[in-house]
Structure 1
């Protein structure tokens, strides 16, 4: 789960691979002698027209789609950037770059030849049609992404993948914590706090394997004080190093930072986004409680999944069982507070939203293990009190069903 920057590497690598493939196919294309021969001058004109036409079309489509999608997504929450990270987005762009490189390279390689095989323009036409098909798929995906149901489903789908990869063990209140392996006393037990020295950024990913390996090399233990999704500013405590010294550059090389939170290693982000959508829907400017209820439906799904999982997964050991790295991941109370606390106060002005929130809390309290019910029952009691005081008729009817 806590590995390196795989998504960004794949995105950049795909564009490079497609460009190299276009170059590799374009250079030998004029040497093909099979099939009928056609006038080389017309083929060169066709290749240049296809190449510049495809790259111009995709540039216009991308500009318009991102403008429309981002504007529409901001009506839910300004932090919603799901479409930009869709694989179809960068795969289509990478393939289009490959088509452009192929057509231009083949056109330049033909040079002053008199004739060329008809297979060359046919291949260029087929590649252009495939690029158009990918753009069509991209447009359909963009149109879907501006719909509320699609956005909520995309958030929940990514959350499911993240939770399943991060929280593997079921919750067992009787399970005793694993006893640490015997450790050799470090030469120095001093704790050195490493502070963030770069510009303000969001911690997006931590490469746990590299950190464990580096900690072994320097015979130290690393305790992060910031989890993925945390905003870092200059001077903020980042990690406590116990034992041997740890160079700042070694830590920086194992982290990925950016300008916003991502789904890669931030399990709190899906609940934050769902809460943001519900809060905006309940604001006086929007006043759309039905949207808030839809968001609560997905929120109940995610909290229900977390209720039965072991959330204590922030400790990483080396091959000998010695703890080398700890990361402060959210606990059950933190997840509940992030999802529901602000929503409780915002929903107090809407009987529909408050009633759905009460149902959510009642179901979760019933389904959750006993050790995790207290935080839910406190909020359920508050929701009942607010509902009885503000909407006695509606509340009595809902309790009777």
Structure 2
């Protein structure tokens, strides 16, 4: 159908709307200021093919549309377009709905979390429950093929430009505001980490960059808001329950003996991983840990607590955790941003 994504060949031959210059005609919104609820894309496609032009919907579903704001930009044979018919293809109303507005579902859950984290309510457990739902929604969206803005006809020519949220938009609405509001709360930061790390494990690789960026921001927020090393250690553990669903006390105890790896020459390294660890590689001297499988000592919820000996003259600089066959996560330890927990035995 016409809603399928562009092929690489068609994309290479078409010209982006931004490069086409000024539109040949602009149709403005009339009447009352309302919210865009839905758009009849098949109707727009039929009209664009009939008039042999390109129709760009100026707004996005969920946008507030004020009087005299642009509604459509027309390129090409714009005079042949029936303005009345175009207006009939847009549904407007006073409140957002989820019919064609998936971002609204994310907005509702994010608002639940933000209200729960407000000083007046201060209910982080409810915020964790909202993050549970955002986690579920992100997994669904991350496995879908998000459409390009341009919709092509059967001949591969762009006919309709219709903007929809991209992957980055969904990640931002699910994480950014909640992190800012709950960065000082153990439940929130642990639940966010569990969500992000799980999404990195289960979603295709092209979704990972934005998730890694959010993980980095989460680590920086933890370093800023938590003073004691024990709290920092606890805050860096992924926990699908927020607090209480993962190894906590043992790691907090280990944190009292945390040291920079430049001072660790031999002993025991304790590592936290959100997935099964199949192999470890120190990237250090031949006498270091290399190519050895270390089964988890025990597993609680989605978190494994792993212990193995580092029999080497120099400290390992890097350990590679291979979770399953598809995903490899590399963690580097430094004094300022430990991604795992290290102690001298």
Q: Answer whether TM exceeds 0.5 for this pair.
A: yes
Given the superposition, is the C-alpha separation of residues 178 and 335 from structure 1 closer, same or farther in structure 2, using an over 3 Å criterion? farther
Tell which has more relative contact order, 1 or 2 (C-alpha 8 A, sep 6+).
Answer: 1
Deviations 1:347-398 (A, max 9, x none): 1132111211122122223333333222221221121222244334233135
CA drift at 1:295: 0.7
Secondary structure of 1:260's partner?
A: coil
Q: Please, which of 177, 180, 186 is the counterpart of residue 8 of structure 2?
A: 177
CA distance in 2, matches of 1:328, 1:177: 19
Are 1:197 and 2:30 counterparts?
yes
Deviations 1:285-321 (A, max 9, x none): 1111111101101111111122222212543333444
Find the counterpart in structure 1 of residue 134 from structure 2.
299
Residues 388 and 396 of structure 1 are in contact (CA less than 8 Å); yes or no, is this contact kept in structure 2? Answer: no
Given the superposition, is the C-alpha separation of residues 247 and 176 from structure 1 closer, same or farther in structure 2, using an over 3 Å criterion? closer
CA distance in 2, matches of 1:313, 1:182: 15
Residues 128 and 188 of structure 2 are in contact (CA less than 8 Å); yes or no, is this contact kept in structure 1? Answer: yes
Residues 184 and 222 of structure 2 are in contact (CA less than 8 Å); yes or no, is this contact kept in structure 1? Answer: no
Deviations 1:208-264 (A, max 9, x none): 111111222222111112121111011222221112222331211111100111111
Residues 179 and 188 of structure 2 are in contact (CA less than 8 Å); yes or no, is this contact kept in structure 1? Answer: no
CA distance in 2, matches of 1:349, 1:236: 41
Normalising to structure 1: TM-score of the pair? 0.52
Residues 181 and 320 of structure 1 are in contact (CA less than 8 Å); yes or no, is this contact kept in structure 2? Answer: no
Find the counterpart in structure 1 of residue 181 from structure 2.
346
Q: Please, which of 70, 88, 92 is the counterpart of residue 237 of structure 1?
A: 70
Find the counterpart in structure 1 of residue 232 from structure 2.
395
Find the counterpart in structure 2 of residue 224 from structure 1.
57
Secondary structure of 1:204's partner?
A: strand
> RMSD of aligned C-alpha atoms?
2.8
Mapping of 1:9-24 within 5 angstroms? none
Deviations 1:186-227 (A, max 9, x none): xxx953222222321011111111111122222211111212
Find the counterpart in structure 1 of residue 213 from structure 2.
378
Given the superposition, is the C-alpha separation of residues 368 and 290 from structure 1 closer, same or farther in structure 2, using an over 3 Å criterion? same
Residues 227 and 329 of structure 1 are in contact (CA less than 8 Å); yes or no, is this contact kept in structure 2? Answer: yes
CA distance in 1, matches of 2:113, 2:28: 36
CA distance in 1, matches of 2:156, 2:187: 51
Deviations 1:132-160 (A, max 9, x none): xxxxxxxxxxxxxxxxxxxxxxxxxxxxx
Residues 23 and 73 of structure 2 are in contact (CA less than 8 Å); yes or no, is this contact kept in structure 1? Answer: no
Q: Which has the higher strand share?
A: 2
CA distance in 1, matches of 2:86, 2:112: 35
CA distance in 1, matches of 2:172, 2:142: 14
Q: Please, which of 367, 379, 387 is the counterpart of residue 202 of structure 2?
A: 367
CA distance in 1, matches of 2:37, 2:175: 24
Q: Which runs of 5+ in 2 are unaligned?
A: 15-21, 238-250, 252-304, 306-345
Find the counterpart in structure 2 of residue 33 from structure 1.
none
Are 1:254 and 2:96 counterparts?
no
Given the superposition, is the C-alpha separation of residues 238 and 306 from structure 1 closer, same or farther in structure 2, using an over 3 Å criterion? same
Residues 142 and 167 of structure 2 are in contact (CA less than 8 Å); yes or no, is this contact kept in structure 1? Answer: yes
Residues 351 and 387 of structure 1 are in contact (CA less than 8 Å); yes or no, is this contact kept in structure 2? Answer: no
Give the number of the structure whose alpha-carbon radius of gyration is greater.
1
Q: Which runs of 5+ in 1 are unaligned?
A: 3-165, 170-174, 184-188
Residues 57 and 162 of structure 2 are in contact (CA less than 8 Å); yes or no, is this contact kept in structure 1? Answer: yes
Residues 181 and 321 of structure 1 are in contact (CA less than 8 Å); yes or no, is this contact kept in structure 2? Answer: no
Mapping of 1:63-74 within 5 angstroms? none
